[in-house]
Structure 1
Amino acid sequence: MGQLSYEIGNLKTIYSLDLSFNQFSGGIPSTISGCESLQYLNLSNNQLRGAIPTTLGNVKGLISLDLSYNNLSGSIPDSLEGLPFLEHCSISNNKLEGEIPDGGRFGNFTAQSFANNFGLCGGPVWFQIQSCLKDNGGISIKYMIIVPSLSLVVIVVIIMLVLIRRRKRKNERRVRNRRRISYIELEPDITSLSETNLLGRGSYGSVYKATLSDGLDVAVKVFDLQLQGAAESFDTEMEILCNIRHRNLVRVVGCCSNKEFKALVLTYMPNGSLDKWLHSDMYGLDLIKRLELAIDVAAALEYLHHNYTFPIIHSDVKPSNVLLDQDMVAHLADFGISKLFDRGEAVVQTRTMATIGYAAPELGTEGKVSTSGDVYSFGIMLLEMLTGKKPTDDMFGGEMSLKEWVNKALQENAVTGIACFIIKGR
């Protein structure tokens, strides 16, 4: 039992080798060509599989070869035609296929030598084996096998191309479904002398409230193209937001783009950002609502990391990038520095920096972006939601951070003290 050792080739002076009826498995080692003096080889009635090694043709002294009653597959090597002294050959009862060689000593063997290999075909009539040529048209059985195989490959390729094209059209329809909005339609709201319509400012521009011609209220994110990286940020958000859809992600209504002006038109969120609700005296959230909002953001990240075609890394998870709709449902927004991973990637390097205090340590020290970085940022935001302290609060400096502060409180059983504001709805 077991497999034939590759060291069999070291038997350079062996004359006869009979290993039949031993239940050997695996393949015949190619090193068998090292048996230079071998004349009689019997490996029949085992469980050998794989191809007959072409190196067997280098054992020029072979007189008898018996490989019958195994599970050998593939074709009979042409190299066996070069065995000048071969008088007996039995490779019956295997799974061999293809045309039986007709050179060398093979013309002297009978059909019994190749019996019960249903994939084999023969040329000379004395093989008494199915001919490799069909009577009608002289088409080779090889072609009978190859042509259907090629046809199957062609069919598979066509199906793949159809699926790819269908997916491409689906993505194109998604983009087309986003409205192309003219600057003239937006201009009155974003160039008003008062800042009544200004919702906020970001790294690459400002966000305004606007009303479209059909009466729909929207948020217009206008990119300041004078800033380095603004155009790239617009392209990134367009690429990602036009291809994703989840109830906890901000939705793109349309876009307005030319050489001088680029803007994204987004669903308007009347309740503003989570940051406002956490740190303003005019607003308040009880503990249950905070947990609900945290679950909303976690669901958005789970979709981005695991349920889209490729992982999408947000790279800047923080309360100001979480917007609340009329029903106080959270929507993750601002994908300007996001990363769309290719298949197989787990980490990418970047020069883009997320917000201080929320960024994972490996992003700041090594520029590494990964799904773990988003999870870290979410954890910091969760601590902020439960403690009311921003990670950039004046009380944090040196080795003390929001994470360390909460960790110390846990060790000292002082969690109640740092979270007591929640009871007041702050």
Structure 2
Amino acid sequence: MGKLVSMARLDLSYNNRSGNIPKSFEALRYLTYFNVSFNDLSGEVPISGSFKNFSSQSFMSNEGLCGDPIYGLPPCHTTGPKRRKLMLRVVFSLFGIIVLITIDMALEYAVGRYRRKNLVENTTDFAPGTTLSRFSYYELMQPTQGYSENHLLGYGSFGSPSPWSGLSGPAHFATSSSIYRGTLNDGRDVAVKVFDLQCQNSFKSFDVECEVLHNLRHRNLCKVISTCSNQDFKALVLEYMSNGSLQKWLYSDDCLLDILHRINIMIDVACALEYLHNGYSTYIVHYDLKPSNVLLDEVMVAHLSDFGIAKLLGEGESNAHTTTVETLGYIAPVPIRCDVYSYDITLMEVFTRTKPSSEIVYGELSLRSWINDSMPNTITRIVVVDSNLLGPEEEDYTEKLKCLSSIMELALNCSMESANERVNMQDVVVASKKIRFQLLT
């Protein structure tokens, strides 16, 4: 019928017809009268051609028809196409997230592989079972300009701030080593850790550091490049970390770390500890984890340092290879899983910017107790967090608060007084990455 282009009138009213009005009727340009009222038609009424001139009387009593309001018809439902568009948006969004996660994992793998490759290339004798190359005392004189004060980075000792902590002198603690910055002939910047041989356990701590660092390979551990050892002089040549310590970044007015930076750093630390606990043939306890022993390289990747106080645990028993002055506030009430406890305290300090040794500020409350008492209440929960991380005017305020709450809950789970109730570092790594993912999405 749509081919009868000369048709002028069409009256199909009261014909008990069903189905759609053919779209081809729009081509009937001579059609001046059209009536399909009182039928059982359905679908959309054409709107072009002669149909522009018809009124609602042409389509009365067809409950299934829809179209332009000028015909007195309800609008056609477009939920199908809209729903398809919505589904496409959801699918593309999910696909985008999956692509981002895949890229992130690929980059993390590539960076790790690149660092491992450099580790092998730059320290060819760093493999287990081989001997580290050694510098002589005089070979280290030139890079450090005779171990001058101009090249002095700081001091190190058991339980004390590390060389990159930003401290200018050995006040308030007895030093067991001095750390100097130098540049080797091949252009590499290094940190030369010179041990005080008059300090008790200096020989032993030197031997332990050599043994541990010589056999460990992980992107988040500070690596040893070489050593220097004779009867009167012992030193480690370490990879230099240009951005200093986490302690410096937390408490210096010139440095600022946002939430994501801090999460990434603490994930790096957790990965390093997880490797020490599970990735090496011998279970290793760092035993002195704190912000001053977390060093940051040029791209703000964290490296765990100071293995002079590490304990090497033999299978089935604990053998202390060094003695250590336990740092106030960071050491667990019981020695088992002390690294997990120290990680918790460090995690709390990083996100509250409050040192555990400052507990006198809160009366008899420790840093952990102060945070634990603040968790049930949103207002007090905000108070304990570093004010630089959370401002009420921020657009993503709620998301950041949830993220910080999750971090504090994780920290509290790490510091249960019963070691058996604490999570292990593998769980900490998984939980930390989950928190980061939630923040990013």
> Does structure 2 retain, via aligned residues, the 8 Å contact 1:317–1:378?
yes
Q: Write the mapping of 1:62-81 to structure 2, written as runs, cut at 5 A.
A: none
Structure 1, gaps ≥5 residues long: 1-169, 363-367
Task: Give the TM-score normalised by the residue count of structure 2.
Answer: 0.53
Equivalent AA in structure 2 for residue 374 of structure 1: D
In the alignment, what sits opposite 1:399?
364
Task: Please give the secondary structure, in 1, of the residue aligned with 2:383.
Answer: helix
In the alignment, what sits opposite 1:357?
329
> Does structure 2 retain, via aligned residues, the 8 Å contact 1:189–1:208?
no
Q: Distance in 2 between matches of 1:332 and 1:315?
A: 12
Task: Please give the secondary structure, in 1, of the residue aligned with 2:375.
Answer: helix
Q: Distance in 1 between matches of 2:362 and 2:145?
A: 41
Q: Are 2:167 and 1:220 equivalent residues in the alignment?
A: no
> Does structure 2 retain, via aligned residues, the 8 Å contact 1:396–1:402?
no
Q: Write the mapping of 1:239-254 to structure 2, written as runs, cut at 5 A.
A: 239-254=211-226
Q: Are 2:245 and 1:278 equivalent residues in the alignment?
A: no
Task: Please give the secondary structure, in 1, of the residue aligned with 2:271.
Answer: helix
Q: Are 2:293 and 1:321 equivalent residues in the alignment?
A: yes
Equivalent AA in structure 2 for residue 186 of structure 1: L
Classify 1:349/1:240 alpha carbon distance in 2 versus 1 (closer, same or farther; 3 Å).
closer
Compute the RMSD of aligned alpha carbons. 2.5
In the alignment, what sits opposite 1:106?
none
Task: Please give the secondary structure, in 2, of the residue aligned with 1:206.
Answer: strand
Q: Are 2:149 and 1:195 equivalent residues in the alignment?
A: yes
Encode CA deviations 1:259-289: one digit per residue, 9 max, x unaligned.
0000000111000111000111010100011
Equivalent AA in structure 2 for residue 199 of structure 1: L
2:344 to 379, 388, 398: 379
Displacement of 1:189 = 4.4
Q: How many residues align?
A: 249
Q: Distance in 2 between matches of 1:265 and 1:217?
A: 10
Q: Distance in 1 between matches of 2:317 and 2:190?
A: 36
> Does structure 2 retain, via aligned residues, the 8 Å contact 1:310–1:340?
yes
Encode CA deviations 1:273-310: one digit per residue, 9 max, x unaligned.
11000111010100011000000000000000011111
Classify 1:189/1:348 alpha carbon distance in 2 versus 1 (closer, same or farther; 3 Å).
closer
Classify 1:350/1:400 alpha carbon distance in 2 versus 1 (closer, same or farther; 3 Å).
farther
Q: Percent identity?
A: 49
Q: Distance in 2 between matches of 1:286 and 1:295?
A: 14
In the alignment, what sits opposite 2:390?
423
Q: Distance in 2 between matches of 1:314 and 1:192?
A: 32
Displacement of 1:229 = 1.1
Task: Give the TM-score normalised by the residue count of structure 1.
Answer: 0.55
Structure 2, gaps ≥5 residues long: 1-123, 158-175, 395-441
In the alignment, what sits opposite 1:135?
none
Displacement of 1:211 = 1.2
In the alignment, what sits opposite 2:313?
341
Larger strand percent? 1
Classify 1:215/1:177 alpha carbon distance in 2 versus 1 (closer, same or farther; 3 Å).
farther
Q: Distance in 2 between matches of 1:181 and 1:313?
A: 29
In the alignment, what sits opposite 2:69?
none
Q: Write the mapping of 1:227-306 to structure 2, written as runs, cut at 5 A.
A: 227-306=199-278
Q: Distance in 2 between matches of 1:400 and 1:276?
A: 25
Encode CA deviations 1:86-115: one digit per residue, 9 max, x unaligned.
xxxxxxxxxxxxxxxxxxxxxxxxxxxxxx
Q: Distance in 1 between matches of 2:239 and 2:345?
A: 27
In the alignment, what sits opposite 1:409?
374
Larger RCO of the pair (alpha carbons < 8 Å, separation 6+): 2
In the alignment, what sits opposite 2:136?
182
- Which range is displaced more, 205-214 or 295-304? 205-214
Task: Please give the secondary structure, in 1, of the residue aligned with 2:272.
Answer: helix
Q: Distance in 2 between matches of 1:347 and 1:188?
A: 39
Task: Please give the secondary structure, in 2, of the residue aligned with 1:416.
Answer: helix
Q: Distance in 2 between matches of 1:240 and 1:213?
A: 26
Encode CA deviations 1:48-83: one digit per residue, 9 max, x unaligned.
xxxxxxxxxxxxxxxxxxxxxxxxxxxxxxxxxxxx
Q: Distance in 2 between matches of 1:178 and 1:194?
A: 26
Displacement of 1:404 = 1.1
Classify 1:394/1:375 alpha carbon distance in 2 versus 1 (closer, same or farther; 3 Å).
closer
